[in-house]
Amino acid sequence: RLKGGQIDSSAYGTGSGGSVSLTTPTLSMKKGSLISALTDSDNPLAQGGNITIDSLHVDVLDHSQISATNTGSGNAGTIAISAQDSLSLQHGSAISVASAQGDAGDIDIHTDRMLYVLNSKITTSAAAGLGNGGNITLGNPEFSLLNDSQIIANAVEGSGGNIMLRADFFIPSTDSIVSASSELGLQGKISIQSQYANIANSIGVLNG
C-alpha cells in the first residue's frame, strides 16, 4: 500500500534506465503516490526502464501515477499490468508512458473482471522528433468502463500508437476520449472487440 509514497527507478548520464517489478496480492495507491521508471540521457541508445505489476487488485487513486518516461534522446520503457480481478484508476490519476524524442513504449493492461477509469488517463506520448506513439492494449475484462476519462496514444512527427480494447462489455461515457493520432505523421488505429460496445455517440473524439 502506497499513501503518498513513491517507488522510483531513475537513471541519469549515459546508461539505460532500470526497471520496476512488483508482485503483490493487492496494490493500493492513494494521495499522489508514484511508481516511476525515469531515464534522462543524451545517449539515443539509452532505453527507458520498464514497469511490471502482477496483482489480484490494482487501485490507482487520488492523483496517483504509474509512469515510464524517457526525457532524453532514447525510447521510453513499457508498462505491463496484470490485475487478475480488477483495476481501478480514479480521480485525476494516470498510467502513462512518454518519450521526449524517441519512441514511446507500450502499455499492456490485462484484467479478468473489471477495468474502471474515472476522471483519469491511460496515455502514451511521443512529444517531439520522429518518435512513434506507443501502443495501448486493454484486454479481456468482463466490464470495461470509462467515465470522463481518456485513452490516448499520440505522437507529433512519428506515427500515432494503436489502441486495442477487448471486453465483454465496453461502456464509455459521452465525455470520454479515445484517440490514436499524430500531428504530422500517420494516424494510429483503434480496434474495439466487444460482445456489447455502447459507443454510439459515446466517444468524444475518435482518431482525432
Residue 65: predicted pLDDT: 97
Distance CA 48, CA 37 (A): 7
Residue 145: predicted pLDDT: 93
Residue 28: predicted pLDDT: 96
* Percent of residues in the chain assigned helix, strand, coil, to nearest 5: 0, 60, 40
pTM: 0.92
Residue 199: predicted pLDDT: 53
Q: Mean pLDDT of successive 10-residue segments in the chain (208 residues)? A: 86 82 96 94 86 97 96 93 96 96 95 96 88 94 94 92 94 91 91 74 39
Q: What is the dihedral of CA 63, 59, 91, 106, to 10 degrees?
A: 70
Residue 208: predicted pLDDT: 33
Residue 4: predicted pLDDT: 83
Residue 6: predicted pLDDT: 92
